[in-house]
Amino acid sequence: MPGWDSTKCVNGYPDPFTEQDAETVVNSADFSAPVQVIKSNSGETRTAYTYVEYKGYKLCVGGHIHLNPDGSYKGPGNSFICGYAKWEMLTPDPATKVIAGYTKDSGTFPGNDRYPRRIT
């Protein structure tokens, strides 16, 4: 059953939070200004991270796509919310188009900032 990993989400998290909330967060993620874009070592996937504010928290969403051997877009992977365990969904089509447009790695991995933080 999906839920927040309290060992990682030490700064709290939105509660209540349902799978419908998770879908809303992922569907509202704007990857046009990601904190990081990174291609896997194998070159078969690309992941972008961005933040979404929801229910008083800053949540980090990872959007994932699959690549052809030449680096071109192959298809969607799954998206997830950092710290929300045992849940993922197919990366939404608008997000896949944005992520596929990135050809180089950029930004910095958000580290522990990828876990929910209350917006003050």
Q: What is the mean pLDDT of the chain?
A: 97
CB atoms within 10 A of CB 20: 8
Please say whether the beta carbons of 13 and 82 come within 8 A.
no
Confidence of residue 120 (pLDDT cuts 50, 70, 90): confident
pTM given for the model: 0.96
103 vs 108: CA distance, rounded Å: 16
pLDDT over threshold 90, residue 96 = yes
pLDDT over threshold 90, residue 104 = yes
Domain spans in the chain, listed from the N-terminal domain onward: 3-106
pLDDT in tens, 49-72: 999 999 999 999 999 999 999 999
